[in-house]
Amino acid sequence: MSKKELEQALEIFDSEIKKAGISRRDAFKLAGLGGAAFLTSGSQAEAATVAKASEAKGKILIVGGGLAGVSTAARLSNSLSNPDITIIEPNEKSVSYQPATTLLASGVYKSKDELLYDTKDFMPKGVKWIKSKAVEFEPDSNKIKLENGEVVDYDYLIVAAGIVLDFGQIKGLEEVGDAYSVGDASKILKAFGDSGVTSVYNIDTAEHMWKETQKFIEEAKKGTKLRGVFTAPATAVKCGGAPKKVMYLVNSRLNEAGARTNVDLSYYDDGGKLFGVKDYADAIEKQFIARDMKWNFNHNLIEVDIANKTAIFDKHWEEKGEYDPDLEEHEILKKHQKVEVPFNFLHITPPQKAPDEIGNSPIGSEKGWVPVNKESLQHVKYKNIFAIGDIAAVPMGKTGGTVRKQYKVLVDNLISVMEGKEPKEKFEGYTVCPLITDIGKVMLAEFDWSAKPTPSFPLDPTQERWIWWLLKVYMLKPMTQYGMLSGKA
């Protein structure tokens, strides 16, 4: 987004909120986004909260040049008097505005070009960029081997490599294998074809999803009875609200077309809740009922028969077995049943994991994620290693809103370690998920590890609001680009 585009976004935003009698500054306060002070008439200097630059020295290596990696590098550059920072990132388009893939998939954004921008345009001044991929980690000797054969050493390591889309775990999509949010999507698109199978989790497939959605709607307008199926897997996923957002948006577009009564919309989730925070889960349940959207828990998508348009789920539950008098409790038996669900339109939220070269390395864990102290973000074993964003093994929250809180804590704690001190700053688990519930409506779900709503303003956080839609559509992108990627939001 250029400065001109930013000004245009602000004009639209200001015009709309003026009709509601709200100022721009108050609107940002309502969303808990005060860190973008430079967008509310303050200066960029006022937006920065970094204290006087530290004299600490050390060679800092960041694996991953997406939102988390670049934001952290920028803040470190602002916080150190003599920074020595290198980013390892192979993708020249890795810095993307991922939260808008749902908007692209529903036709609100018209092209993937509105989401993508070049990594080089936001690389912090003075930061070295190596365009390769980290493939081997030797934390005992502070070295990393790259795909190009180069070996890079470091004093301090930050892992911000993001998440991998594990389509290959689903039978019928083995040929797709691992994929990423940005990059070559040819294998996914070839597998999906024009079958009505979609996914919002890659930028190219999000664009493809809008085409499939339009075809689905046109068929429904003819009076054909159709079925849309939406899934959520057995793994942690980035933006846990997205599997539901796409269903809300398809529902909205069907209503616009006057074809909603011809379509059954059903959500299949491996878990047992509509959301991890009860207040929001209860609100979503009411919204689903009002919109005649069905849901099914304990259903994990394990296979897709694209030719026959059938999704196969592992339905699982627990039953009491024999009573053990010694333990004075019943044995718990895990039961499984294959359930075949026909579809005309299928949205797949793929299983997700850390990149194998990291998850299976000495800095990884049994579950693949990088194990860190959830408050300090410092590695549990290697004290000169930190992790941030989707790849960090912390409870809840794999969102850009999470990173916005994490990277400030990480930078302060890393500098403390560089200065020979103990890390004292604590990440409290804050996550914000702008849950799109309709074209023009968003429920701003804010919460932390207490698993309770933590709204930034005294408004009912379970209510769908138009003002949050304006923030989502017009303002979060420039706030990401000119705020977080500068290390100042």
Q: Hey, which residues are catalytic here? A: 239, 433
Strand residues in 51-130 grouped as ranges (E): 59-63, 84-88, 128-130
Strand residues in 128-233 grouped as ranges (E): 128-130, 134-138, 143-146, 151-153, 156-159, 164-166, 178-179, 197-198, 226-232
Side chain identity, residue 202: N
The single-letter DSSP state of residue 472 is I
Tokens 């050390």 correspond to 58
Pairing of the two strands 299-305 and 385-387: unpaired
Burial class (CB in 10 A: 0-12, 13-18, 19+), 321: exposed
Name the nearest CA neighbour of 443 among 458, 425, 460, 420: 460
Confirm if 317 and 298 have CB atoms less than 8 A apart.
yes
Determine the Cα–Cα distance for residues 486 and 118; give it in Å rounded to an integer. 15
Determine the Cα–Cα distance for residues 115 and 98; give it in Å rounded to an integer. 7
Confirm if 471 and 33 have CB atoms less than 8 A apart.
yes
Inter-CA distances, 432 with 165, 240, 401, 460, Å: 22, 11, 5, 15
- With a CB cutoff of 8 Å and minimum separation 6, the contacts of 4 are none
Which helix (H) or strand (E) segment is 314 a member of? Answer: strand 310-324
Instruction: Return left, alpha or beta for 45; rule: phi > 0 is left, psi -120 to 50 is alpha, else beta.
Output: alpha
Confirm if 207 and 339 have CB atoms less than 8 A apart.
no
Determine the Cα–Cα distance for residues 153 and 145; give it in Å rounded to an integer. 9
Determine the Cα–Cα distance for residues 242 and 202; give it in Å rounded to an integer. 12
User: What string of H, E and C letters represents the secondary structure of 388-456?
Assistant: CHHHEECCCCCCHHHHHHHHHHHHHHHHHHHCCCCCCCCCCCCEEEEEEEECCEEEEEEECCCCCECCC
* Ramachandran angles phi, psi of 307, nearest 5°: -60, -40
Three-class SS of residue 140? coil
